[in-house]
Structures are given as C-alpha cells and as structure tokens.
Amino acid sequence: MRVTNNMLVNTLLRNVNNNLSTMQKKQDQLSTGKRVSRPSDDPVAVSKIIKYKTDINELEQYDTNTKDALSWTQTSELAIADISTALQRTRELAVQAANGTNTLEDREKIAMEIEQLKEHIIGNGNKTFAGKYIFSSFQTDKKLLNADGTFNINITQNELDNKPTTTYEVGVGETMKVSTNGLDLFGAVLDTSYFPTNMPTGENEGARGRKASFVGEDFDRAIDHSGDTLEFAIDGTTYTVVMTNLVGTTNKPIANIDFKSAILNADDGGGNLLKDVATVSFDSNNNLVIESNTYGAASQVDYTVASTDIFSTQTPGDTVNGTDLVEASVAGSVALIDADINADTTTRKIVVEYFGETQEIEIDMSLYTTVAGYTAALNTELDNKFSDKISELQTKFGGTYDINATGNPITFETTGSAIDGPIPELNVRTIKSQKPQMIKDLDDFINALRTNDTAGISDFIANVDVNLENINSSRSEIGAKTNRLEMILKRIEDDNINVTQLLSNSQDVDMAETIMLLKNAENVYKASLSAGARVIQPSLLDFLR
C-alpha cells in the first residue's frame, strides 16, 4: 500500500484530536469534581448514582417527617404536663375543701378557682401543632372541646373502639402513631340512661342440635371379612359396604385406612356414596365413628351386620341418635329504662351490634315526645340498617330472624333450624357525645362545692386520681414515642452518611489522581504536536522562501 503525505497528515490530526479530547475530559473532571458527567461515561455507575440520589432525597424527607413527629410529641407532652399540673392543683383544693371547717363562702372561692383550672385544661385539650389539633384523633381540623367542655369532634363507634391517631411515615414501610387520642386522655362517657347493659348472649343461646353418630367397638381386624355383610343406614338411606378386600390375618391385620375407605365408598345402589352424607373416623380408642352430616331429628345412623365378629358388643340402635332438635328459638331484649323521652332534646347515637355486624343509628330526640314515637323511629332505622344482614342469615342458615323496637326496645328473635348459624347476639350502646369524664368530674366537683355536698367533694378526690392515672399513662406513652423518634433520627443520620459515601464513591473523582492524569495528558498532547511538526514535510512554498 502506498502511503501518501495526505494520509500522514490525516492520521496525525486524528491522533492529536484524541489526545486533546483526553486532556479536555480530565480538565472537566477536575473542574466539576465528578468522575461521571454523562451516561456514556459509565452506564452502571450512572444507574447507581440515580438510585443513591433518590435514597438521599427519601432520607431527607423522612428526616423532616421524624422531626415534625418529634415536635408533635413534645407539644403533646407539654400540654399533658400542663393538664397534670392543673389536676394536681384541683386535688389539693379538693383536700382543702373536704375540711369541715370551711364555710360555704370558702368553698365558693375554691369553686371559682376550679372553674379557671377547668378552662385551662380545656385550652390545653385544644392545643395545636402546625395548625392541627393534636388531641382530635384524625379530625385534626376540629378542636377537641367546646368552651363549655363538651366534645366538639364527631364521636363515632370507630373513635370509641379503634382510637385512631395521626401517623407519620418515618421510614420505608415504617409509620409512627404520634398523637394522643383525646377520648383516652379525657375519657369518653357512654350514656347508660337508656340501655343500662349490653344484652347477655350466653343466657339466650338456644338448644344447639347434635349430629347423630355411631360408635363401633371390637372390630376384629385379624380375620377374613370378605364374606360378611355390613350396611349402614344414614338418615333413612341404606349404604352397602363392599367387603371383598377386607381380609385380615394375625400377622397382617386389616389397616384402619382400608376399613375406612371401604365404608366411605359404600353405595346406596344408585351411585350415591356414604362419604357424601356422613363422616368416618377412628377415635382415640381405635373405635370406628360414623357421624351423619344432618342435624336434629332427621339425623340418624343405624347399621345391619351379618356376623358377630363385627362390632360384637354393639346392639343395633345403641347410641345411634344424638340430641334431637326440631327447632331453635332464641329471643331477648334490651330494656328502655328511661320513659321520660320528652325531657331529652339531644341527638342520640345508638350503636347496635347484631350477629357480628355493627351499625350506628342517630336519632334527634327533640322530635319525639313519647316512647311510642321514639320506638317507631328506632324500628324504622333498625329495618333500614339490618335488612341485608337478616336476609343473609335467613338465606345461609334458614329459620327466621327479626330485630325491632317494640314498646320496650330493643328485641330480637331467631326461630327455625338455625343450628349451623352463629350464636345469637345483640348488643346495644348509646354514645353520649357530650362532656368527657374529666370535665364531668370537675363540673360535679364545682356543683358539690356550691351546694355544700361533702360526699361529692370527697368523691372527687377518688375521681381525680383516676384522671391523673390516665394522664400519667398518656405521658408514659408519649415518652416512649419520643425516645423511639430520637433513635429513628439517629438512624436516618447514619443512613444518610452511608448513602452519601456510596454516592461519592460512584461519582466523585480522586483529585490527586486526576491532576496527575491531566498533566500526563498535556505532555502527550504536546508531544503529539511536536511529532507532527516533524512528520509534515516542507511544501514548495517553504523552498521558495
């Protein structure tokens, strides 16, 4: 191949440009401090860098969340500590007021201070953090208490049972419940003026039917039964056992599994098998047990055998029928004990639990002046709320079900062969979403002071101790949450340092090494220029000069 001057020049320029690009890359790395500036530099490293930066952003958000959560718990602790101090003061005043030397005027002065302490407690109950009411469960846009001490939030059955709280996400899949539920702190009052107790369930459970069963003893597994006849009558239908393979000897007795299989596959002559209408097993004494799948009077198990070697101690008819059950009938009621409906103008929230389903019924008592009018309204609500449940019970278990409010509500009844169904159950509670227990105790104490009720004054001392115990329990819980949040903050800080180090390892350059490589690239570039000057031959113009 002929090498021309043009080829030498092109090759020289290409190599010089490559050396210049290498030097430029090192200059870029040195000026930016980054080893990778575009995906083509290192595709694997770029994917890691993106992941590490995402992790750092997440950690920064978790750090913010955790600090907010910590501030929330600290705000809660300060408010609760303030409430505790106020309650301690009310207790001191109660001990002072219980002294028999106090006059009515003295107790009036104490009552005035108690009122101020009550207002202070209500104010702390409505404490906010970042514009959110910290004791109002998930209803953080509503203050917990009104000025008169009554609950301002909507108290539902979910509030009473589950005590929902505000949560913060402080890690991957890790959340913290930070708020203290106001119902726990102040105590929710369940009104018992209408329905004093939940209706008991055990006393109202009807007869539960048993399946008829047969127990066969002394089956000789060590002889040949192939010529025997064995039949079982299950609920009036006869099933014949094929005995052909039931051949046992002293050395090799018939196995339970073979005997059980033969019985399960007994045929009624029409292709129907015994295993479809009964269960077969062996008890702890190795006795055969056959149990009908039918409950009640229709349930029957009998047998016919043509050899005394099978169930020799069993007489046909023995222990054949279990307890017969023609009909299960269960009824019960929860009495309405306050007949003075006209005196009540509040809105009642009645919680009815019926066969495992809970429904809330809300009735405006100001609309009713008689028990009959109230019960009629309640009955309508019960029908609306539980119609689907009653239909489900009737379809699944048979029988009839009814829940209603009559002259003395609430009653329920279930009749029919509902023996496979759940145990009948009806529980009724009325939620009184008015004053919490703590405020109610303070109001009762104020009233006792102003009426010179020494017994009421003494009662408050015991009541305030219960409230203080609740407060201390809440403070302990907050302390535990605070400690955990502080540990989470430390963990986030350590994780951030670790991920930042991994990011640096993937994208940052070693400055000393990069400076050395840049100087090397400069020398190579200069050397290539010097070599090029010698490679390019003089032109005609050079000679003419």
The residues, ordered by sequence, that sit 6+ positions from 386 with a Cβ below 8 Å of its Cβ are 352, 354, 357, 359, 403
Closest among 195, 190, 186 to 152, alpha carbons compared: 186
Pairing outcome for strands 174-177 and 237-240: unpaired
Q: pLDDT value at position 317?
A: 41
Q: pLDDT value at position 206?
A: 43
Closest among 380, 472, 349 to 80, alpha carbons compared: 472
What is the C-alpha to C-alpha distance for residues 273 and 267, in angstroms, rounded to an integer?
5
What is the C-alpha to C-alpha distance for residues 357 and 482, in angstroms, rounded to an integer?
38
88 C-beta neighbours (distance < 10 Å), count: 14
Beta bridge partners of 216: 288
Cα Rg, the chain, nearest whole Å: 43
- Regions of the chain short of the pLDDT cut 70: 1-5, 40-41, 156-162, 189-212, 216-219, 295-298, 306-346, 397-399, 404-434, 533-545
| Sign for the pseudo-dihedral over CA of 245, 248, 251, 255 | positive
Q: pLDDT value at position 167?
A: 84
* DSSP secondary structure string for all residues of 92-134: HHHHHHTSTT--HHHHHHHHHHHHHHHHHHHHHHT-EETTEET
* DSSP secondary structure string for all residues of 21-89: HHHHHHHHHHHH-BS-SSGGG-HHHHHHHHHHHHHHHHHHHHHHHHHHHHHHHHHHHHHHHHHHHHHHH
| Sign for the pseudo-dihedral over CA of 344, 198, 373, 433 | positive
CB environment 392-404: b (16+ within 10 A), e (fewer): ebbeebebebebb
Q: pLDDT value at position 78?
A: 93
Backbone torsion region of residue 430, taken as left when φ is above 0, otherwise alpha when ψ lies between -120 and 50, otherwise beta: beta
Burial of 259 (0-12, 13-18, 19+ CB in 10 A): buried
Instruction: For residue 66, give both structure tokens.
Output: 């955790």
Phi first, then psi, for residue 46 (nearest 5°) are: -60, -40
What is the C-alpha to C-alpha distance for residues 530 and 12, in angstroms, rounded to an integer?
11
Q: What is the DSSP letter of 267?
A: B
Task: Please compute, for residue 325, the number of CA atoms within 13 A of its CA located in the half-sphere on the CB side.
Answer: 21
The residues, ordered by sequence, that sit 6+ positions from 24 with a Cβ below 8 Å of its Cβ are none
Pairing outcome for strands 167-171 and 128-129: unpaired
Crossing angle of the two packed helices 454-507 and 437-450, in degrees rounded to 10: 150
Closest among 157, 152, 125, 120 to 139, alpha carbons compared: 152
The residues, ordered by sequence, that sit 6+ positions from 332 with a Cβ below 8 Å of its Cβ are 199, 200, 203, 204, 411, 412, 424, 426
- State the Cα angle at 354 between 351 and 360, rounded to 5°: 25
Q: What is the DSSP letter of 198?
A: P
Q: Please state whether the peptide bond connecting residue 536 to the residue before it is cis, i.e. omega within 30 degrees of 0.
A: no
